[in-house]
Structure 1
Amino acid sequence: MAEQTPATQRRWRASCPNCGAPVEFASAASSSAVCGFCRSTLLRDGETLSQIGQSAEIFEDYSPLQLGATGRWMGAGFAVVGRVQRGSELGNWNEWHLLFDASGDTPRVAWLSEDNGQFVLSLEAPLNETLPTEPQVGLPLTLAGQRWQVAAVVDAALRAAEGELPRPPKAGRVIELRNDQDEVGSLELRADGSPVWSVGRAVQLADLALQGLRTTAEGESIAEAKFKGRSIACPSCGSPLEPKLSQSKSMVCAQCQALVDLPEGDAKALGFTAQSPENPPLIPLGRTGTLAVNGEKAQAWQVVGYLERCDIPEDAEDEQSFWREYLLFNRLAGFAFLVDTNEGWSLVRTLTGAPSSSRDSFNWKGRAYEKRWTYQAKTTHVLGEFYWPVRLHDLVRVTDYASADGQHLLSREEQGPEVTWSGGQTLTADAVRKAFGLTAPAAQFGRDASAFKNTSGTLLRNIVIGLFLIVLLFSMLRSCRSDDCQQYKNSFGENSNEYRQCRANTRGSGVYIPSGGSYGGYSSGGGSHK
């Protein structure tokens, strides 16, 4: 039976062949649905429904979206009619099926992908060309007439599904591509051999004019309401863990400093890694500051996580660098990183797209960036909570780039099957202090970003070698008269990694070379910004 909707689209309704419950299709392009009563996966053939499988229950992820929500994008209205939950070694994510208002004989198949508080709206498109056989993460790839970079290659499992879908949901390999136009391409190689190609870009929920989101009777979001009372016992000491963000996948226990893997929903937390107490961060967890990211309008950002990281020298003569990263959160804008290195402060966000390359330089948004350092980095200490599963001592390959004036930064991070790009700008120490209302001693914030400025490789190496020899001679002359590590003790504290490393080097040779450049070519350079 068919019935007319207020729009020009026609709905088709039939009974579930398994339980008899009504199943409705709003789009003629949809060939599959999941019965909301018995979870049967149904295939539509003309006016016949047949059961082809069973879908698992949707796991609770505190998404603000739900079936039946409506919105507008680029002047066209849409409704949320279906959802697929997928997962891989990188985590779990939602793909919401959108039905746009009828605008022709062939409805557009659209998806709103949701992952870690970020959203990408994509449209499916035909792909009539030879598919890549073995795409390599981080390398360029030409597809659908465009030049892309391969951002991830994962085997995406099917966790669950609900509502109306353009085809029966299946597991398959997903190749994620990004380009310098800030676009995201997704090539899904399904288990049945049929590829699905879509292209989209990042969107903000606030810009989609969404109606019908999940709310309580008091008008607050479901995520906010459920997280007010959410508590998980720390598997190390038993103290209650109360995550503040629905996206959090890792959290540090405030009582025993254990790093805990958070479970989905209300399951029991099992895994944890013990940590030793460290000095508190300069900016306390929970503190809010107003900052403008990448030229955008200034917004309020709250510190929700803190990491201490270091590089891994590849040569015994290379100097090891340490830096700190503050994970910032804004309810509408998502996440950003405030990075504190010996070279200065910077504020960065992960990129939706990927910069275009030219030898060792890259271009992004009309600006050229030159390569500075390539190094391995690891996380040594964490506090707060994080939207990705944090692992202590995991190695990540990082390459840092900077613009010629040193004011704009790019960072490329590669780990496992994924490459992540981040971009941002330097900040003065005074701007950081004012933004967060800090009263710490000036010496602890007196690191500005003049050292990010680029020069030619030959000139830079000559300068570094010259400075190395001068500092070496000077240090030898005064090593017996003073504590060369006093500046690190004043700036970072007696128990900091910088001061301990300085003292260790001083004891070994009587000489320590201050940071701010590395002869071997390794430096923090702002760190990796996952």
Structure 2
Amino acid sequence: MATDSPQRAYRAACPNCGAPVDFRSAASPMAVCTFCRSTLLREGEALRRIGQAAELFDDHSPLQLGAQGKLQGAAFTLVGRIQMRYADGAWNEWHALFDSGRSGWLSEDNGNYVFSFDAPRPADAPELSTLRAGQPLTVGGQRWSVGSVTQVTLHTAEGELPQMVVGLSTAAKGAGPSFVVTDLRNTQGEVATLDNRPTPTNAEPQWSVGRSITLAELSLVGLKNDTDKSLKGQGVECPSCGASLEPRLSTTQSIVCGQCHAVVDVSKGVGADLAYYAQDNADAAVHEPQLPLGKVGKLTIKGQTLPWQVVGYVERIEVDAGGDGDWQSAWREYLLYNRTAGFLWLVDAEDGWSWTQPLTGVPVRKSDDRVELDGVGFHKLYGYSGQITYVLGEFYWRLAKNQRTYNTDYQGIGGNSGKRLNREETHEAGASEVVWSAGETLQAAAVAQAFGLGGGQQAALTRDGGPSNVTWGTLKTILIWLAVIVVLLLLIRKCGGDDCDEVRDTYGAASTEYQQCQRSSSGGHYYGNTGSSWGGYSSGGGHK
């Protein structure tokens, strides 16, 4: 039957359970009954049951069917979603139907969201089997960089879908179709997705292009109310000690037990066999975060002041890429969460504090050691391999023991020396990814004030500001002068040491001649070892 709406809608009874099934778009070919999970194919004015969809992984997302919002003034409603799984967890692609009849997708991206639209596949789209993370390429006459290559499995779906989805019935039996999803990113802040998911007609790989978005920008209404009541019954037992675990983030893939500190993988959903790894708790007090989990602070980021809650804590070390176990420096990261703005990282390193967020796009490469983002130039500081050593709280990706990343840090040039860029590359089973993040330095006093820390606690946050407070040109000048001084001292030491050694050998260590030689020399031994670092900065390695 027809209902009052900007376009013709259709409602029919589910042939399996009799519950009403709504189609808001005349172009939608299929839906999943929200009551009995039947997969329904629309044939004219009738519905035909073609199988059963798997149960959804309840991820506590604030999004739900029926939520409404606006994108650049155009109204839309969330009418369906597809849920995908991969080695590190799962993500959702929400079908957004606009009042004009156009369909879009609101999907998750590194803990945040991307709004994208399907488009014709470019004629020059590459074979997916040839792509690797970080690879530059041209598609559709535009330059892109491969952000990730991921082997995924269709898990399930719900609601109304704008195209046929093959394999929902086999997914319900734990054998959903597997395919490759590749994300491409460009310097205009866009992300494109190329995947070869199966279609009824064996069509070419699908192509969509979108941009990063926050839920606040979409002015969404009808979101799920995240209360303790809505999460009741969703807790699981820690597989290590049996304590209760209650994931509260919309995208939690790993959670740390508050009792035994085991890191538990919940990426396969509540009710699944949970894998975990134990952490060394002998020195638990040493690992106590200075910003406690659950603490809320108001930070001003990009000109907007919002409340951010500490939901995760990570300790990392820089390790030798050769794998011999040696490490040079350590740093700490706090994962912050805001319900409508997504995730933010606070980084506590040897050279001070900073915040950072993943980018949808990539910077413009100017040379091997220089990139540019939004008109700001950045020079390469250092490259290093990082390894997670200790974690607390919840995280939007699956944590593996001794997990490693390959990083490159960049600093803003000239008057933008407080700006930061980081390139992080990971390689896991079935997936590889390159993520760029951007941020700025913060004063320890600003962090303390934001989270309401007292004088003593604020003093404990202070780090060596070192290179964060000087420009690259100034730093290079200092390093050059230090190198000159070291060379001169070595020459003086060599000269003085050799002369006096010869006098000592001739006249003896207690002789007046030897004592006079020492007094008249430059005293190279007095200066001792000057070292190779300055203000926490070492040219031989790197740190966050």
Q: Same fold (TM over 0.5)?
A: yes
Structure 2 residue 527 is matched with structure 1 residue 523:
no
Instruction: Determine which of 240, 257, 277 is the counterpart of 1:272.
Output: 277
Q: Distance in 2 between matches of 1:317 and 1:271?
A: 23
TM-aligned CA deviation for residue 42 of structure 1? 3.3
Of 430, 433, 455, the match for 1:418: 433
Mapping 1:394-409, distance limit 5 Å: 394-405=403-414, 406-409=417-420
Check whether the contact 2:448–2:461 (CA below 8 A) recurs between aligned residues.
Answer: no
Q: Which residue of structure 2 lines up, in the alignment, with residue 247 of structure 1?
A: 251
Question: Contact 1:108/1:124 (CA < 8 Å) preserved in 2?
Answer: no
1:322 aligned to 2:330?
yes
> d(CA) in 1 for partners of 2:392 and 2:26?
50
- How far is 1:411 from its partner? 0.3
Match of 1:112 in 2: 106
Structure-2 separation of matches of 1:254 and 1:471: 54
Q: Would the aligned equivalents of 1:93 and 1:113 in 2 still touch at CA under 8 Å?
A: yes
Aligned counterparts of 1:163 and 1:441: Cα–Cα separation in 2: 50
State the match for 1:342 in structure 2: 350
Query: Contact 1:231 / 1:240 at 8 angstroms: preserved in 2?
Result: yes
Write the distance in 2 (CA, Å) between the matches of 1:512 and 1:382. Answer: 33
2:77 alignment partner, SS class: strand
CA distance in 2, matches of 1:384, 1:432: 20
Residue 195 in structure 1 maps to residue 205 in structure 2: yes
**Partners of 1:46 and 1:248 in 2: how far apart?**
41
For residue 154 of structure 1, what is the amino acid of its counterpart?
Answer: T
> Displacement of 1:335 after TM fit?
1.4
**Closer, same or farther in 2 for the Cα pair 1:260/1:28, shift >3 Å?**
same
- For 1:247-275, what per-residue CA distance to the aligned partner results, in whole angstroms no more than 9, with x for missing partners? 32222233323222236235564423232
User: Which residue in 2 is equivalent to 1:40?
Assistant: 38
Q: Normalising to structure 2: TM-score of the pair?
A: 0.79
10 and 447 in structure 1: CA distance in 2 versus 1, 3 angstrom threshold: same
Residue 391 of structure 2: aligned partner: 382
Q: How many residues align?
A: 477
Question: Aligned partners of 1:429, 1:355: CA distance in 2, in Å?
Answer: 28
Q: 1:54 aligns with which of 52, 59, 76?
A: 52
How far the C-alpha of 1:93 sits from its partner, in A, is: 0.8
Q: Please state whether the residue corresponding to 2:472 is helix, strand or coil.
A: coil
Shift of 1:386: 1.8
Do residues 91 (structure 1) and 89 (structure 2) align? yes
**Cα distance in structure 2, aligned partners of 1:223 and 1:283:** 24
Per-residue deviation, 1:462: 4.2
Q: Is the 8 A contact 1:33 1:165 kept in 2?
A: yes
3-state SS, counterpart of residue 226 of structure 1: helix
- What is the alpha-carbon distance in structure 2 between the residues aligned to residue 441 and residue 160 of structure 1? 48
Whole-angstrom distance in 1 between the partners of 2:402 and 2:486: 30
Q: Is the 8 A contact 1:227 1:245 kept in 2?
A: no
Instruction: Specify the alignment match of 2:180 in structure 1.
Output: 173
Distance 2:52 2:361 in 1: 36
Distance 1:471 1:400 in 2: 33
What is the alpha-carbon distance in structure 1 between the residues aligned to residue 213 and residue 122 of structure 2?
28
Kindly provide the CA deviation profile for residues 76-135 of structure 1, in whole angstroms up to 9, marking residues without a partner as x: 221221111111123211111111112xxxx32211113565222112222341321112
Gaps of 5+ in 1: 215-220, 474-509
Matched to 1:212, the amino acid is G
Bigger shift: residues 67-76 or 231-240: 231-240
Q: Separation in 2 of the partners of 1:454 and 1:514?
A: 15
Q: 2-side partners of 1:259 and 1:467: how far apart?
A: 49
CA RMSD in angstroms comes to 3.3
> Which AA in structure 1 matches 2:154?
L
Aligned partners of 2:489 and 2:52: how far apart in 1? 70
- C-alpha change, 1:444 and 1:195, in structure 2 (3 Å) is closer
Measured against aligned partners, the alpha-carbon deviations of 1:49-91 in whole angstroms (never above 9, x if no partner) come to 5444432122212122222222222222212211111111232
Distance in 2, Cα, partners of 1:137 & 1:471 = 47
Matched residue, 1:100: 98
Alignment of 1:54-453 (within 5 A): 54-102=52-100, 107-114=101-108, 118-133=112-127, 134-170=130-166, 171=177, 172-191=179-198, 192-214=202-224, 221-222=225-226, 224-227=228-231, 230-262=234-266, 264-265=269-270, 267=272, 269-276=274-281, 277-278=283-284, 279=286, 280-293=288-301, 295-314=302-321, 320-360=328-368, 361-405=370-414, 406-416=417-427, 417-436=432-451, 437-438=453-454, 439-440=456-457, 442=459, 445-448=462-465, 450-451=467-468, 453=471
Q: Is the 8 A contact 1:292 1:298 kept in 2?
A: yes
Partner of 2:499: none
CA separation in 2, counterparts of 1:467 and 1:83?
65
d(CA) in 2 for partners of 1:332 and 1:467? Answer: 54
Structure 1 pair 266–449 and aligned structure 2 pair: CA distance change class (3 A): farther
Q: SS of the residue aligned with 2:445? A: helix
Superposed displacement of residue 16, structure 1: 4.9
Distance change (3 Å), C-alpha of 1:241 and 1:41: closer
Contact 1:305–1:385 (Cα < 8 Å) also in 2: yes
Contact 2:110/2:358 (<8 A) preserved: no
Amino acid in structure 2 at the alignment position of 1:168: M
| More moved, 172-181 vs 342-351 | 172-181
Q: Could you say if the C-alpha distance between residues 43 and 131 of structure 1 is closer, same or farther in structure 2, counting changes exceeding 3 Å?
A: farther
Conserved in 1, the CA contact under 8 Å of 2:238 and 2:244? yes
2:27 — aligned with what?
29
Q: Structure 1 residues 312 and 299 mapped into 2: Cα distance closer, same or farther (>3 Å)?
A: same
Q: Does the 8 Å contact 2:150/2:182 carry over to 1?
A: yes
- Per mean C-alpha deviation after superposition, the further-off stretch among 162-171 and 402-411 is 162-171
Cα distance, 1:346–1:11 mapped onto 2, change above 3 Å: same
Which stretch shifts more, 357-366 or 163-172? Answer: 163-172
Instruction: State the identity as a percent.
Output: 44
